[in-house]
Structure 1
Amino acid sequence: MPAMETVTQIHLSTGDGINWSTTGGPVTFIQYGTGALCQCSSSASLTIRVSWKQRARAMAKTVRDSLVDLNLFKSSLRQQPSDIKQQRWTSRIYITLLTLALIILTLHGLLSFETKLIQVSNPSFSIVQQLQSHANIISSLQCSCTQLTIPYGQFIQLQPFYHQVCSSDFVTDDWITAFDDLDTALYTINLGINLLDFALSQPLFVLLQALCVYSNETIADALQTFQRTPLVSAQLLTVSDFKNQMSSVIHEFELETTSTFLHFIQLLRNITYVNQIMSGLESNFNSTVSGVSSYQVSFFMTTYTTTDSNSSYTCSCANDATCKTQWGLYSRSTAVIPSYSLPGFYCACQVVDSLLQSTLECFYDNQDYMRIITDFYNVSTSGNFTFGNFTLLNSSFIGSRYTINSTVESLVSQMFIESWSNSTNYSSYFAQCQPASCSYTISQRNNLVETITRIVGLIGGLSVSLRILVPFLVIAYIAIIRRLWSQHQEAVPELTSLGARFVTVGIRIRDWLKKVNVFDDTNRAVSIEQQCLATRVYILLLIISLVILVIYTSLTYYLSTFTITNPSFEQYQQLQQRYGSDAVSCPCSRSSITYSAFIKLECDFHPVCTSHFISDSYLQELFELYNDLDTAYASSNAYTLQGSKAHGL
């Protein structure tokens, strides 16, 4: 029967956190002072258990010892304990400065903003729209047009809508010819025609027709010229700038076209005023014929009496261009009081004054005057004349900016235009501009990848620079400390001249340059002389590279963008003086500014324009003087200035 094997299990705790345990086999413990050494036989199994706390302590101790013993500046020539201690301190300073430099560069790279110029080649319309939708991009967005001049007609469509009178029956040849038939019918029955009878108002409608035609032709010619006028722009306008600028251009076109039209009308009125032209209606001059054997014709300026609901006044065409009276329906030529008065329809000194001061209210469908006119002349001519079926003006016309009692002068001042229809097409403008490229600037922080890339590019040069400078600084520091200490210990300081000190410093720098070795490696089988020679070549090439880089940087111009928010006028002037007007760009917060905000124009007229000779009182004096003159004497022996007061549209 085999003997039973004794199994022994021993557990030992050393008190330092390490537990020892063994199972089976003989175990021998050897005592060394306070410790114990366990010696196991080959048949014993030993397990060492280490806690996480102890492992962390051991690792920290290992790292600490490694940092304490770290020496990045080992030298095969300097291996004394003091030299090694100096090299270790140099290594610590080097690592500290390098770490601080990396932290500063990283924070600067991540926190600083950088202005970047982005360029897009051959951008599409959708891409440009996307760029313009970003508020931080649109202010710096520039798209160069390949076509510098673009006719307005390529992207602007203008269409005027006229007052209904210019397309009504009252400006047709049939309506105008009807007055000739009416005159013939009245003279046929020997009724004659009163000078203020509506039957003689045909010239007003002829002039109204001419003004409508002239307005249409003027606008048509102006539109053709406008559509051929080019928009000159080297840069693509943004949508907002395009709308504002085109709105201003269209408004200016409307004003200029209207002004051109009114200049002609005003010229027509001035000619008739100044020359005292006798109207074909005899509305400004009355004539009388006297004599038996020889006829004598006398002319007198017409006077009118105008009566309204409140008062009446008498005026003369000699000194009042606005003198007028109402047209009416007269039963016979000798009648003084009309059978019917036509409200708003006036006979003035000249045909143009008659039309411009009149209204068209009698010819609207909500008035009964056209029926009265038709019935009156139908009865007067015993049924021999009728105006026929003419369509009246629509009183319920939607969208009209004029009332039924608006004067013709108010219609003429707007060229009979009710409204303008204008449309601008930005996509057509973009297609004509054909931008070859768009560029814009953005200001943003660098991302982590760019920052790491820059640091990697700088770390090499920074590391080498510190490896050269730090040992020199440490040596200089130690030398200064030793000198100060030696001076403190000596009772009598050594007197050395300034020149000798410079010589000593120069010798030390020379010796240091001879001994400096950035490629010192005790493990490499390379001679010290070769390492020093390589160091000198390296330093020489580094200095040459730095000199070239400094010269290149100082001679090279870089484009830097600085943004000043809400600058004052003084700041703007200072920027222009410092950088020039071409380099300073300040986008306006308002796309359109009226000239009156910054331009003030004043003109000095000839003194005659403010003298007494053009005043109403002086013209009235001339008129009274003319009336007091003997007619026969005045007609053959005197020239008398007759004044008339003209009113512009």
Structure 2
Amino acid sequence: MSGFSPLDFRLMAMSQFQILTLLCQTAASTISSDLSQFLTQQIITNQALSLQVFEAQVIALVDQMQATTLANVKYIDQLVSQVVLSSQIMSALNTNSYLIDNPLVSNYYIQHGQYFVGDYTASDALNVNNAACGCTHKSNCAFQAGFYNYSIRPGANQYSEYIPSPPPIFIVPGMMVGCLPHDSMLQSTLECFYNRSCLDLIGISQAIIPLNATVSSRFAVNTTVNTMFEQLFVETWQNSSNFTHYYNACHPEACSYTYTQRGNFLYTMTMLFSLIGGLTTILGILVPLLVQFFRRLLVKCRGEVIPAIENDPAGRQLFYFS
């Protein structure tokens, strides 16, 4: 059993940094896996898309991939936390529960820890209200971490609150302790690691360079680890699509288009004269043929003989009756 108080940063720091490493590895592997799967997708359309439609569809697909990835990671993380809480798994650090020896009956029983709710500073040990968050039904109970010069844990006949009294030597800015290292790390910030003085106080080697607070970032210095993890620690998502490659692979063999235009007076007159001229030509050919056809038909119906006159090679006229 550790000699540190459950509220002591030194008790939980190593486990929290291991959790932070796992969160970063989870984010990196998730992005790599989902990105590889996303790149295997194909855009299939019944006709070539315009540049504007192509870019709009690509942006929509990328946004959907991002939203799905973030939602899946958040769901899995919450599921694991809920399983640990429901299974009443006891932390090896004794931060969520611990065993108490009862010498009267020669056995042990489990006591669940509780953390005070509220802000707290090392200079004011009374700045804690009476409300407490228990680890029996919650795993996200958290309290500000500090360096304590004692180890204190409630006994068999005492309340199970982890009482920060006497006050710690100092509070580690942004760092939280609680029922489980995972949940308290998610509620912590990394602001201490931007400050050389803070790193010196918690015993970080001079070889470790503090984080640069002047670097442009979407995450502020006091952003919680949970907020950054929900965004997979990604600063920006960059989309690079190539419409030329898409069109070369999907371009049509032939293109056609139609347009609607309202005709003007000149266009109307031209079409009218063209129609009249066409009708005149057609009727000039058809009318003589129709007259001859109906004339023959009429003669046959009356039984009349229509003489036909032809000239022979000798210049004589020959009459034929049909």
Is TM-score (shorter-chain normalized) higher than 0.5? yes
User: Offset of 1:269 from its aligned partner?
Assistant: 1.0
Determine whether 1:270 maps to 2:26: no
AA aligned to 1:243 is E
User: Offset of 1:275 from its aligned partner?
Assistant: 1.2
1:167-206 equivalences in 2 (<5 Å): 192-200=3-11, 201-206=13-18
User: Offset of 1:255 from its aligned partner?
Assistant: 0.2
Aligned match of 1:238: 50
1:285-434 equivalences in 2 (<5 Å): 285-291=97-103, 296-308=107-119, 311-312=128-129, 313-333=131-151, 336-365=166-195, 368-374=197-203, 387-398=205-216, 400-434=217-251
| Structure 1 Cα separation of the partners of residues 230 and 271 of structure 2 | 72
The runs of at least 4 consecutive aligned structure 1 residues that moved more than 6 Å come to 446-451
Determine whether 1:251 maps to 2:81: no
Q: TM-score by structure 2 length?
A: 0.74
| Structure 2 Cα separation of the partners of residues 539 and 245 of structure 1 | 72
Aligned match of 1:437: 254
Secondary structure class of the residue paired with 1:286: strand
| Structure 2 Cα separation of the partners of residues 464 and 287 of structure 1 | 112
Contact 2:51 2:243 in 1 (8 A): yes
Aligned match of 1:155: none
| Structure 1 Cα separation of the partners of residues 246 and 265 of structure 2 | 38
Q: RMSD in angstroms over aligned alpha carbons?
A: 3.4
1:562-601 equivalences in 2 (<5 Å): none
Q: 1:427 to 1:332 in 2, by over 3 A?
A: same
Q: Percent identity?
A: 29
1:27-46 equivalences in 2 (<5 Å): none
User: Offset of 1:300 from its aligned partner?
Assistant: 0.4
| Structure 1 Cα separation of the partners of residues 29 and 285 of structure 2 | 89
Render the CA deviation track for 1:484-514: whole Å, top value 9, x for unaligned: xxxxxxxxxxxxxxxxxxxxxxxxxxxxxxx
| Structure 1 Cα separation of the partners of residues 294 and 242 of structure 2 | 66
| Structure 2 Cα separation of the partners of residues 266 and 255 of structure 1 | 17
Secondary structure class of the residue paired with 1:220: helix
Q: 1:428 to 1:463 in 2, by over 3 A?
A: closer
Q: 1:336 to 1:387 in 2, by over 3 A?
A: farther
User: Offset of 1:214 from its aligned partner?
Assistant: 0.9
Aligned match of 1:569: none
Unaligned runs of 5+ in 2: 121-126, 153-164, 297-322
| Structure 1 Cα separation of the partners of residues 37 and 57 of structure 2 | 18
Q: 1:534 to 1:264 in 2, by over 3 A?
A: closer
Secondary structure class of the residue paired with 1:404: coil
Q: 1:456 to 1:315 in 2, by over 3 A?
A: closer
Contact 2:90 2:98 in 1 (8 A): no
Contact 1:329 1:340 in 2 (8 A): yes
Contact 1:322 1:348 in 2 (8 A): yes
Determine whether 1:229 maps to 2:41: yes
| Structure 1 Cα separation of the partners of residues 41 and 282 of structure 2 | 67
Render the CA deviation track for 1:312-333: whole Å, top value 9, x for unaligned: 2322212343322122112343
Q: Tell me the number of residue pairs that the alignment of Structure 1 and Structure 2 aligns.
A: 275
Contact 1:278 1:284 in 2 (8 A): yes
Q: 1:318 to 1:216 in 2, by over 3 A?
A: same
| Structure 2 Cα separation of the partners of residues 198 and 337 of structure 1 | 13
| Structure 2 Cα separation of the partners of residues 467 and 299 of structure 1 | 114
| Structure 2 Cα separation of the partners of residues 455 and 539 of structure 1 | 32
Q: 1:263 to 1:537 in 2, by over 3 A?
A: same
Higher relative contact order (CA 8 A, sep 6+): 1
User: Offset of 1:194 from its aligned partner?
Assistant: 3.0
Q: 1:440 to 1:463 in 2, by over 3 A?
A: closer
Contact 1:328 1:340 in 2 (8 A): yes
AA aligned to 1:323 is C
User: Offset of 1:449 from its aligned partner?
Assistant: 9.7
Contact 1:306 1:326 in 2 (8 A): no
